[in-house]
Structure 1
Amino acid sequence: MSVLRKADLDAFVERGFCVLPGAFDAWRASAARARVWRRMEEKAGIREDDPATWPEVYDIEERLAVPEVLDCFTDRLVAAVEELIGEGRWRGIRGWGFWPVNFSYGARLPYAVPPSGWHIDGNWFRHTIDAQHQGLLLIGLFSDVAPRGGGTLVSEGSHRRTAQVLGEHPGGLTHLELFEEVLAEPIGNFHELTGEAGDVVLAHPFLFHSRGYKHGGPPRFISNTEAGLVAPLRLRGPDLSVLERSVRSALTGPPPHFDAPQRCSF
């Protein structure tokens, strides 16, 4: 039985992401969040009961291989991943590997689309059209994220531009070279990722995103990780995955049209 609907698959191809609501339970999210608080106190003296210790943002750049966190990578989430990239075609590493906690980023600024900080993940490899390293970007919500609550902002359709840029550079591009090429023109179709603790956004690895301004609510907890592939993407032949079809569609289709475009930087 499929976990994702046809509308979800279509959204992934066209918009660059879809959402799996309730990928894990809210009580699991709470238990994992408690471990993140504990780790922030160990690393930086950031205490849940003392807002005076809270920075604007804090990133834990490590996998927390503890049961409370590992329990949040559920069988249902695995099924959704495999519906997008193919059964047996990812490395099967369960867990959450990067924790950008947003306490008050941009709270003193008028609410707007951040002009900087736009990127795709993957600073550890050279980007090519068929790179296998990331597979999918998974954004797990470990707290409720309300509108203007510091949710990640994405540029819907930017994955299509990224694919077209990479298609023009068969030798690949470094992280910064790719940013310069894609962001040389305005992007748009900005969308704030909101939802409830336990939701997971399954995003295209070519989708540009940035940390959103936080104008209210408790600290925002998410975790980003990748579902890396065991082999490079295939862009020809039968039995292409949804991810592979999305890249092929971007390469053969017109450039994306952006509503409310603006110049952005990384």
Structure 2
Amino acid sequence: MTTTELSRFEDFQKKGVLKLSNVIDIEKVVDARTHLWQEVNRKFGIRIDEPSTWFSNVNNSVGGARAKRLNGMGSIMRDLKASGKLDEIEHAIQPVIDHVFGAHTWRPLDLWYSLLSFPGSETVWNVPHQSWHSDEPCVVGDVEPWSLFVFVFLDTVTVDMGATTVVSGSHRRAESLAKVLATPNNEALINAFESVNSGLFENPNDVTLLPMDQVLEPLIQEDPWFHELVNKGSPDKRIQRFIDEGSTQNGIEQKVVPLTGAAGDIIVFDPRCLHTFSANISNLPRQILRLDFRRQ
């Protein structure tokens, strides 16, 4: 591991979020984007260059005022994966993951996810106060997650396009909570994550962990910064408070980080970090795919 790679790895361990620029050749990105929209047009009759088609079939759009997404994208992503249309992107990501996180340490799962979303009805972007959650439990004594989420940017995504927002450092806050609040005998939860945790321990009953839904409330109770995060406030004040300034609690730096980037960039983040989606107030769809990696 080079000095640069070590620095990136340590930065990821500290923040739970790591942006890597120009990982995928733009030609490969354009090709994948073209195939994605061909399938979206075939299934939903939606064209990226015709906004009037984006919500013509209301039965296929879900979401609230912040952003809209399409139901039924899973079958499209499965077909794209099976057809090999995403292989070149996957092959470009794997060596980068190997270099930063260790060779043969992480391998991709078979399923890709679409994070494609369209503008909602809100007109001003604000740091979201709703739906903060984590997607993986915290295991006592294990500083690494079971999986890594890799966001793949198919086009430029700016904050106003409904960027996913992550609280950097929140996975470490969850680790601290787990030492106090975690309990054993979570076999059902462990089994629910079998696709990413199988082989990591001999006996599920020996694993002590903190479930995802038991992270946010204790943080709200003990930390005024999190209490403010989940309550409404003016955009200017919230952007300054949570994105520009952040906070430090128990020696852990935490900030709200919008996941933005350009075509060909990737962002790796720890699914134990608290995150949510924000309002897409632009006039463009957010074009992002997600590929998950599991520990070996």
TM-score (norm 2): 0.65
Partner of 2:118: 103
Q: 1: distance between equivalents of 2:170 and 2:277?
A: 16
Aligned 8 A contact 2:109 2:294 in 1: no
Q: CA deviation at 1:196?
A: 0.8
Matched, 1:176 2:213: yes
SS in 2 for 1:120: coil
Report if the CA contact (8 A) 1:138-1:203 is conserved: yes
Q: Would the alpha carbon gap of residues 214 and 16 (structure 1) be closer, same or farther in structure 2, given more than 3 Å must change?
A: same
Structure 2 CA distance for partners of 1:96 and 1:150, relative to 1, 3 Å = farther
Identity %: 22
Give SS of 1:111's match: coil
1:53-92 alignment runs, 5 A limit: 53-55=53-55, 56-58=68-70, 60-61=73-74, 62-63=77-78, 64-65=80-81, 66-75=83-92, 77-90=93-106, 92=107
Give per-residue Cα distances to partners, 1:80-113, cap 9 Å, x unaligned. 32344432233x23666111112104x5242101
Unaligned ranges ≥5, structure 1: 231-266
Task: Give SS of 2:98's match.
Answer: helix
Q: C-alpha distance in 2, partners of 1:222/1:20?
A: 15
Write out aligned runs for 1:1-266 (5 A).
2=2, 5-55=5-55, 56-58=68-70, 60-61=73-74, 62-63=77-78, 64-65=80-81, 66-75=83-92, 77-90=93-106, 92-93=107-108, 97-105=112-120, 107-122=121-136, 128-129=139-140, 130=142, 134-168=146-180, 169-171=182-184, 172-182=209-219, 185=223, 186=226, 188=242, 189-230=255-296
Matches of 1:46 and 1:4, distance apart in 2: 43
Are residues 7 and 215 of structure 1, via their aligned partners in 2, closer, same or farther at CA, if it must alter by over 3 Å? Answer: farther
Deviates more, 1:57-66 or 1:150-159: 57-66
Instruction: Pick closer, same or farther for the CA change 1:9–1:89 going to 2, 3 Å.
Output: closer
Deviation (angstroms), 1:199? 0.4
CA distance in 2, matches of 1:228, 1:181: 28
Distance 1:96 1:131, change over 3 A: farther
- Aligned partners of 1:157 and 1:131: how far apart in 2? 12
Letter of the 2:90 counterpart: F
Q: Is the contact between residue 3 and residue 80 of structure 1 (CA under 8 Å) also seen in structure 2?
A: no
Residue type at the aligned position of 1:145: V
For 1:131 and 1:225, how far apart are their aligned partners in 2? 21
Aligned residues of 2:17 and 2:267 also touching (Cα < 8 A): yes
Note the alpha carbon deviations across 1:7-56, whole angstroms, 9 max, x for none: 42232122221111111112211211122223323443333343222142
Letter in 1 for 2:139: T
Q: Report which stretch shifted further, 140-149 or 48-57.
A: 48-57
**Separation in structure 1 between the aligned mates of residue 292 and residue 179 of structure 2, nearest angstrom:** 22
Kindly provide the CA deviation profile for residues 222-246 of structure 1, in whole angstroms up to 9, marking residues without a partner as x.
Answer: 112221113xxxxxxxxxxxxxxxx
In 2: Cα distance, 1:134 partner to 1:35 partner: 31
What is the distance in 2 between the residues matched to 1:25 and 1:36?
A: 17
- Tell me how far apart the structure 1 counterparts of residues 94 and 2 of structure 2 sit (CA, whole Å): 12
- Bigger RCO (CA 8 Å, 6+ sep): 2
SS of 1:207's partner is coil
Any conservation in 2 of the 1:73–1:95 contact (CA below 8 Å)? no
The AA in structure 2 aligned to 1:98 is Y
Flag the structure with higher helix content: 2
Size of the aligned set, in residue pairs, is 224
> Which structure has the larger Rg?
2
